[in-house]
Amino acid sequence: MTRYAGNAEALRALVREQEVHRDVYVSEEVFQLEMEHMFPNSWVYVGHDSQVPNAGDYFGTTIGTQPVLLVRHTDGKVHVLHNRCPHKGTRITSETCGNTGKFFRCPYHAWSFKTDGSLLAIPLKKGYENTGFEQSHAAPGMAPVRHVRNYRGFVFAKINDGGLDFEEFFGESLSSFDNMIDRSPVGQLKVAGGVLRYMHNCNWKMLVENQTDTCHPMVAHESSAGTAVEVWKKAPPGTKKPMAVEIIAPFMSPYEFFENMGIRIWDNGHGHTGVHHSIHSDYSAVPGYFEKMKAAYGEERAKAILDENRHNTVYFPNIMIKGPIQLLRHFKPIAANKTLVESWTFQLVDAPDMLLERTLMYNRLINAPTSIVGHDDLEMYERAQEGLHSNGNEWVNLQRLYSPDEAGQTNVAVNGTSEWPMRHQFRAWTKFMTMGM
Amino acid sequence: MSMVAEAPLKNAVPTDQELIDFVVREARLIDEQRFDEWLDMYADDAFYWMPLEWNQTDPRLTCSLMYEDKLLLSIRVERLKGARTFSQKPKSRCHHVLQTPQVDSRDAAANRYVTWTPIHYVETRLDEQALYAAWITHHLCVEDGKLKIKLKRVDLINCDAAFGNIQLFM
């Protein structure tokens, strides 16, 4: 049964000012429409250019559920290609990442392609003579994603021709990327430490919403962060607070802490928590780091960069970054009830190793499938994914601190426990879902 | 509850059989969820390490699934007892199948003994059951006449796979 395909009105009706219909989380049809419309109409994160430093380097990932390749072409430019052979559809690359040399070669029939995707050669090509092959879908080679933007190393792509250009889509929200990158004395990041991959039996949007949900940590994480605080209390007086406790304990901060941290709202579903302070504000200084920053930027600018303690910045549709600890979480949709969460970490080039060590500790303590904090969250998502099948109430409430005049506003800072960011994400969801319908 | 009390070492230097018995006992204490006794098997400066990468050598600047000192392990153990530990309602159970541990090296002078144990590990929670295969390397020492774990390294055969929750200990 199709309820929503080609029916922009029905899709719009799923999102109300203060609530959303459960079909945005549980309906496979809505999920397929997200993959056909919402993701292709949006600028979606693909990868970081440090993953493909040399010509011929590639990295395989997905935009929505579509397989794509990030690849460094011989001219040094980064391209995004659909990862399928134009012949039979075979995925071209075997490993997730590697170096393909000067060309890709399909392992099935040895069709080969330059690293910008264009067709290089086909064995026994004369078999295609006088067949009209030049007019076929196969002739151009591996189809490129036409709209690609490398923003200071972070590569985004938009599959559809319509929609917004890159600057219009992200607007002022790019300041969070700027702050994360500027924390390197040379203004450069490098993917480092390996990626944590954590499978979630829930809809991808539950994870996105949770990034700006500041009323859950002291409740859902009482079991992990609360226990950590209690166990730490028993340490002998005078014991130096370990890095792990510095990382976990702030999750137990009271409501007031989160109310006062503030939330900023930008256009198109982007926004961040931690306008004034965050759970990352009180980490111990890393020896030698500030001196390097001061030498690179001057004291005033270095302080301004490091005083910015944005908590979670959500980039619609499906990533979150943490500038102060150089971490990016990618919520990859697989099905209405299945999401792969990849948590990536970055090294600040020319900064002390201890910063990466802390980032990696944060990642494994909070984002690993073995993480007790992760267990707390996933339990809530999975219970919601189940609970939403109840017909007793078909709506999810997003009403906290709602104001009727918020729809047109952008770049405003509000109470840190507002659900405005979630309402804003769903306004963007409707916009990019129905765009061109 | 079954009796697997800790037997004191007969001599200052443990025999191979004593090393093997110790490794087997550790798995049994986890399966029987006797986590306080289990934690006592670890030296104060011990680490439990579950690498993320195949043949990983560095736990500091390469991420791991777990790289936890005794403080973090004790937080886990306390959390499992908590009234508001919702991811443990209902509770997980686990089951180890061990191949006979092999003693890879023994150095009484350095007080360092290393064993290697292939395992299958099953973790369940209500209707869910997951099977993992791993090799466990124990670095052991003798402290006050008792064996203690200095390092337990768990190398999953599919360490780089996307996992759901892993909530207990391999």
Length of chain A, please? 437
Which positions in chain B touch A226 (Cβ < 8 Å)? 82, 84
Residue B145 reports pLDDT greater than 80: yes
Chain B residue closest in CA terms to A232: B71
CA distance B28 to chain A (A): 21
Residue B2 reports pLDDT greater than 70: no
Q: Which of A222, A312, A210, A301 is nearest to A261 (CA)?
A: A312
Place of tokens 């490993």: A95
Measured distance CA(A305)–CA(A297) in Å, rounded: 9
Q: If phi over 0 gives left and psi between -120 and 50 gives alpha, with beta otherwise, what is residue A367?
A: alpha
List beta partners, residue B115.
Answer: B103, B138
What mean pLDDT, rounded, does chain B reach?
96
Q: What value does the mean pLDDT take over residues A335-360?
A: 98
Residue B81 reports pLDDT greater than 70: yes
Residue A172, CB-side half-sphere exposure with 13 Å CA sphere: 9
Partner-chain contact B66 A364, CB within 8 Å: yes
Which positions in chain A touch B163 (Cβ < 8 Å)? 197-199, 369-370
Rounded to a whole number of angstroms, the distance between the first and last alpha carbons of chain B is 21
Q: Per residue in A226-259, pLDDT tens?
A: 999 999 999 999 999 999 999 999 999 999 999 9
Q: What value does the mean pLDDT take over residues A255-269?
A: 96
High-pLDDT (> 70) share of chain A, %: 100
Measured distance CA(B59)–CA(B46) in Å, rounded: 14
Which residue in A223, A230, A363 is closest to B86 by CB distance? A223
Chain B residue closest in CA terms to A249: B75
Residue A371 reports pLDDT greater than 60: yes
User: What pLDDT score was predicted for residue B6?
Assistant: 77
Which positions in chain A touch B86 (Cβ < 8 Å)? 220, 223, 376, 379-380
Measured distance CA(B76)–CA(A231) in Å, rounded: 10
User: What pLDDT score was predicted for residue A1?
Assistant: 65
CA distance A156 to chain B (A): 24
Which residue in A220, A227, A363 is closest to B78 by CB distance? A227
Rounded to 10 deg, the angle between the A372-387 and B70-81 helix axes is: 30
Rounded to a whole number of angstroms, the distance between the first and last alpha carbons of chain A is 19
Measured distance CA(A420)–CA(B5) in Å, rounded: 57
Measured distance CA(A50)–CA(A154) in Å, rounded: 9
User: What pLDDT score was predicted for residue A117?
Assistant: 98
Q: How many helices (H) and strands (E) would you count in chain B?
A: 3, 7
Give residue B1's pLDDT band: very low, low, confident or very high (50, 70, 90): very low
Residue A143 reports pLDDT greater than 90: yes
Partner-chain contact A375 B78, CB within 8 Å: no
Q: Which two tokens stand for residue B39?
A: 């934690």
Q: Per residue in A278-335, pLDDT tens?
A: 999 999 999 999 999 999 999 999 999 999 999 999 999 999 999 999 999 999 999 9
pTM value surpassing 0.95: yes
Chain B residue closest in CA terms to A362: B63
Q: What value does the mean pLDDT take over residues A388-404?
A: 97
CA-based Rg of chain B, rounded to a whole angstrom? 16
Partner-chain contact B87 A379, CB within 8 Å: yes
Could you tell me the maximum CA-CA distance found in chain B, to the nearest angstrom?
49
Q: Which of A11, A25, A137, A115 is nearest to A70 (CA)?
A: A115
Residue A52 reports pLDDT greater than 70: yes
Q: Per residue in A145-194, pLDDT tens?
A: 999 999 999 999 999 999 999 999 999 999 999 999 999 999 999 999 99
Q: Is A281 exposed, middle or buried (0-12, 13-18, 19+ CB in 10 A)?
A: middle
> What distance lies between CA A236 and its chain's CA centroid?
41
